[in-house]
Amino acid sequence: AQKVTQAQTEISVVEKEDVTLDCVYETRDTTYYLFWYKQPPSGELVFLIRRNSFDEQNEISGRYSWNFQKSTSSFNFTITASQVVDSAVYFCALSEEGTGFQKLVFGTGTRLLVSP
């Protein structure tokens, strides 16, 4: 069973638009961590955020914000006023207590294209 689902394969927006990337996860553990990573065209995976299952407080970092809702098993990522430099593939990932938090399971990624 897929543990992390990113249903949006690709999203195209025009610069300055807001965009939300969806992430739905599945786990039986009560303690787990969720992550978002960015993979720009250069190919390297860049860490964006880590959130544990006990902290449902939404987080904002500049133009980035994350909405964690345990009731719907979702951890969505919103970019406000998108820029061309935001073009990348974004991955949501899950780490569970059952694996000692060492196994990071990734979703299939959402490719975001921001055009000028």
Partner 1 sequence: DAGVIQSPRHEVTEMGQEVTLRCKPISGHDYLFWYRQTMMRGLELLIYFNNNVPIDDSGMPEDRFSAKMPNASFSTLKIQPSEPRDSAVYFCASSTQGTGANVLTFGAGSRLTVL
Distances in whole angstroms, Cα of residue 64 to Cα of each of 32, 43, 60, 98: 22, 21, 6, 30
Contact status: 109 vs partner 1 (CB under 8 A): yes
27 vs 82 by CB, closer to partner 1: 27
Q: CA 89 to CA 101: how far, in whole Å?
A: 24
Instruction: Give phi and psi for 8, each to the nearest 5.
Output: -85, 115
Q: Which of 17, 101, 111, 113 binds partner 1 (CB under 8 A)?
A: 101
Closer residue to partner 1 in complex, CB, 34/79: 34
Site stretch for partner 1 (CB under 8 A), options 10-18, 36-44, 62-70, 79-87: 36-44
Q: Running DSSP on this structure, what letter comes out for residue 81?
A: S
Residues that bind partner 1 (CB under 8 A): 32-33, 35, 37, 42-47, 50, 52, 91, 95, 101-109
